[in-house]
Each structure stands twice: as C-alpha cells, then as structure tokens.
C-alpha cells in the first residue's frame, strides 16, 4: 500500500505518512503523523490515520498561509481496511 495519507497544496507535497513510517524504518521529515504511526504496522496505522487525519490536516492548515489551500488525500483502501478487516483465520472447517 502506498502512503496512507498525503497532503498537498498548490506548490506540491506538504506531508505524508506511509510504509517507511508504519513499518518502523526511517521517519521522514515530511511525515505528518508526528511518529504516532511509527513502527505500529499497517493495520494499526490505518486505524490511527482514519481517526486522526482530520487533526493532522488541521495542524498543517494552521501552519499554511491562507492562500495555500491544502488538499488531503486518504488512501481509498483505509476505510475498507478499518471497517472490514480481513479475519486472521477462516471459520471454514
């Protein structure tokens, strides 16, 4: 899965959070989760992002100049991943 969340403005990428973060590799300077997704794995990071993305986006909006509208893009699979998690085992006998 590519980035869980990407925030852009008219000048391009403002921040994102993705695999390097939730798989616990390196924190990038543009990671917008402030480390809250760091190393917690895709499932927990997807849930964390679904809960917190509005707050993260608001923080960036507060930082941005008024003439630089930010656009938040959440990975389309996150809601499905959070609402319909695949079972870790099957009930088939």
Shortest reach from residue 3's CB to Zn ion, in Å: 9
Contact 70, 16 (CB under 8 A): no
- Pick 10 or 30: Cβ nearer Zn ion: 30
Nearest to 68 by CA among 31, 15, 18: 15
Q: Which residue matches tokens 């960036």? A: 60
Contact residues: Zn ion, CB under 5 A: 17, 21, 31, 33, 37
Shortest reach from residue 88's CB to Zn ion, in Å: 24
Shortest reach from residue 26's CB to Zn ion, in Å: 11
Nearest to 51 by CA among 65, 62, 40: 40
């Amino acid at each position: 899965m590519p980035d869980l969340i990407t925030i852009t403005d008219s000048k391009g990428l403002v921040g994102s959070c993705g695999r390097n973060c939730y798989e616990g590799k390196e924190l990038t300077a543009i990671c917008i989760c402030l480390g809250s997704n760091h190393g917690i794995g895709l499932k927990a990071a997807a849930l964390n992002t679904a809960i917190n993305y509005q707050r993260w986006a608001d923080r960036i909006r507060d930082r941005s100049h008024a003439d630089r509208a930010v656009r938040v893009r959440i990975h389309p699979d996150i809601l499905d991943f959070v609402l319909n998690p695949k079972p870790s085992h099957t009930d088939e006998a």
